[in-house]
Structure 1
Amino acid sequence: MTPEQTSTPDLTPGRAHAHPSDAHPTDPQTDAPTDDPGPDRRFVIDFAAYDDVADGQRWSTWLQVEPLCRGPEPRPSWVVTSQGAIDTDLGVLKTGKEADVHLLERADPHDPEQSVVMAAKRYRSAEHRTFHRAAAYTEGRSTRRSRDERALNRKSTFGRQVAAGEWAVAEWNALVRCWELGVPVPYPVQIDGTEILQEWIHVEEAGERHTAPRLAQTRPDPELLGSYYEQTRQALHTLVGAGLVHGDLSPYNVLAAGDRLVVIDLPQVLDLVGNAAGFDFLHRDCSNMCAWFRRRGLDVDPEELFAELMASAF
């Protein structure tokens, strides 16, 4: 039997596949059933598909994206890699200036241990964003293709798609690099176009899980407040040591997951030296964070923190 005479199985995830031994030989000219076992026979294979997924669901996209679009190894044990998993949109978690964040469950219906809830950040096209100061952050960046570079400077549909994709890729790269550096950020699971799947930072209360509050919403006791500041300071040191600046760090871009802080919203991460305003952004990050800690009663000096970071950078 030659390859041309054999029907190709459908390997779409979630479909049941017939085995060649269950097929019926047919006449190659008429497709009529035949008992001839000769070399020219071919198979007609019927495939029984599972029910289609419901509205708000899709098959897992884990294996559809390129390996470099998946999170760094070693991966946390909770990452679901099953080909038979289904993604279910659980609704909007929050809206932002350039993207919306949804909660998304990825679960294999045949393996209860393969189930996790993640945050899905989906970037909007340029005309639907309310963030208009992108140029200050993107100075020093370049796209990989000259066509994309030209498109960014035009008000075309393709240009708007490129712009949305560039911000998603910028945040993905920042998340991966920060995770590998040890900066407390959500684990980046995967990127697919303008959608980033990442760890859902949550807390448990009365047996239920809730999204961790922003630092700005918390009222920590003096001991925890001091711990939060030290974590902030260490995160800034790690970033600056790698030549990076968050660029928009504030109590609204930091989550308080119990006694630990997690930095979020990193699409504007920039090069401390490559961006002409890098030092200004770093100074602003220090001022924003120290102002909140001072309002909570901790005696910290933004100028002292900035000088300390500058000294460690060179």
Structure 2
Amino acid sequence: MKTPKRLLPLVEEGMIDEVLRQLMSGKEATVYVVRCGEEIRCAKVYKEASQRSFKQAAAYQEGRNVKNSRQARAMQKGSKYGRKMQEEVWQNAEVDALYKLAAAGVRVPKPYICFEGVLLMDLIGDGQGDVAPRLNDVALDADTARTYFHQLLHQVVLMLGAGIVHGDLSEFNILLDADGPVIIDLPQAINAAGNMGAESMLIRDVDNLTQYFSQFAPELSGTQYGKEIWQLYAASLLSPETPLTGKVAAPTKMVDLDAVIEEIELVRQEAEDRALYLATRNEK
């Protein structure tokens, strides 16, 4: 096929020898199958921010590091330079996450380089010469669904041990090769310790998996693995060997209703005092 414009720099630099075909086009990138010497890999071409349906929400940006204070100020102001830096941070987040997760034993594609907004990485195959299918494209029996579900829970635990939460995990960004699930699409990955939304995102990731696999194994419905994993992590009790039950004990501490009512009353009083102050000032 004709070499796409965004891939020309990698061809000219000798990183890609031939573009074979387009594999898919998603909400954040277009992926191509490419030949690098004797290896078949994939090139993920990130779309410009204006073309992505998945926006760079502040919730995903929190806790990400930038090179210096000048870049941080530019990103906050939204200048042209700041937007360029924001794009680099967004793209590099996936590269950094892939390297960290691969080192932690998580099943993710092996990355090679991110150059001019293009991520070159391993192509995940099905073991029979074809591209691995996505999880949502495969019919599962109950036993296989249970196996994949628990394999993915283990991957989530390994990710959390590496300090990373996927943030958008679902059946649409999991591939199935000959050895089981492989997790992909990580530009929105967040810092588990540095992002205030990490707990809710991890629970949502696991709930997405639970909802999907419970179609095939109904007993998974109603389990609370996400909450259990986070509670163990927050208590420094989580390891890859930690047994999981899917159950979370109900809170035993009684809610202090008097304290809650007092807090509401304080907020109401502050609002009334402020309104009175503004009205008095306007009369002067």
TM-score range, shorter chain: 0.7 to 0.9
Displacement of 1:296 after TM fit? 1.6
Name the residue aligned to 1:263.
Answer: 183
What is the correspondence of 1:39-54 to structure 2 with a 5 Å cutoff? none
2:74 to 129, 151, 158: 151
Q: Over aligned residues, Cα RMSD in angstroms?
A: 2.5
Q: 2:88 aligns with which of 155, 161, 165?
A: 165
| Code of the aligned partner of 2:166 | H
Q: Report the Cα distance in structure 1 between the residues aligned to 2:91 and 2:224, rounded to whole angstroms.
A: 34
Give 1:86 shift.
Answer: 4.9
- RCO (CA 8 Å, sep 6+): is it higher in 1 or 2? 2
Equivalences for residues 18-97 of structure 1 within 5 A: 86-97=16-27
Structure (1 or 2) with the greater helix fraction: 2
Which residue, 242, 246, 262 being the options, matches 2:162? 242
Distance 1:262 1:91 in 2: 22
Counterpart of 1:281 in structure 2 is: 201
Secondary structure of 1:90's aligned partner: strand
1:179 aligns with 102
Aligned length in residues: 231
- Say which of 58, 64, 72 aligns to 1:135: 58
Q: Which amino acid aligns with 1:180?
A: A
Identical residues among aligned pairs (%) = 32
The answer to whether the Cα contact below 8 Å between 1:60 and 1:106 also exists between their aligned partners in 2 is: no
Change (3 A) 1:119 1:298: farther
Gap change, CA 1:98 and 1:158, over 3 Å in 2: farther
Match of 2:261 in 1: none
Cα-to-partner distance string for 1:187-230 (whole Å, 9 max, x where unaligned): 1122223211111011255xxx3221111111122332222112
Cross-structure match for 1:102: 32
Distance in 2 of aligned mates of 1:55 and 1:195 = 13
d(CA) in 2 for partners of 1:234 and 1:157? Answer: 41
Measured after TM superposition, the shift of residue 85 of structure 1 is 6.9
Once the two structures are overlaid, the 10-residue window that deviates more, 282-291 or 133-142, is: 133-142
User: In the TM superposition, what is the alpha-carbon distance from 1:106 to its structure 2 partner?
Assistant: 0.9
SS at match of 2:130: strand
Greater shift in the superposed pair: 123-132 or 174-183: 123-132
SS in 2 for 1:228: helix
Are positions 1:296 and 2:216 aligned together? yes
Q: Using the TM superposition, give the Cα deviation of residue 285 of structure 1 relative to its aligned residue in structure 2, in angstroms.
A: 0.7
Distance 1:85 1:166, change over 3 A: closer
User: What stretches of structure 2 of length at least 5 have no aligned partner?
Assistant: 236-284
TM-score using structure 2 length:
0.73
Distance change >3 Å, CA 146–CA 286, structure 1 → 2: same
Structure 1 residues 275 and 256, CA gap change in structure 2 (3 angstroms): same
**Normalized per residue, which structure has more strand?**
1
Corresponding residue of 1:67: none
- Report the alpha carbon displacement of residue 145 of structure 1 after superposing the two structures with TM: 2.6
> How high is the TM-score relative to the length of structure 1?
0.66
Gaps (5+ residues) in structure 1? 1-53, 65-83, 108-114
- What do residues 57-82 of structure 1 show as CA deviations (whole Å, max 9, x unaligned)? 868679x7xxxxxxxxxxxxxxxxxx
1:212-253 Cα deviation digits (max 9, x unpaired): 111111112233222211211110111222332111110111
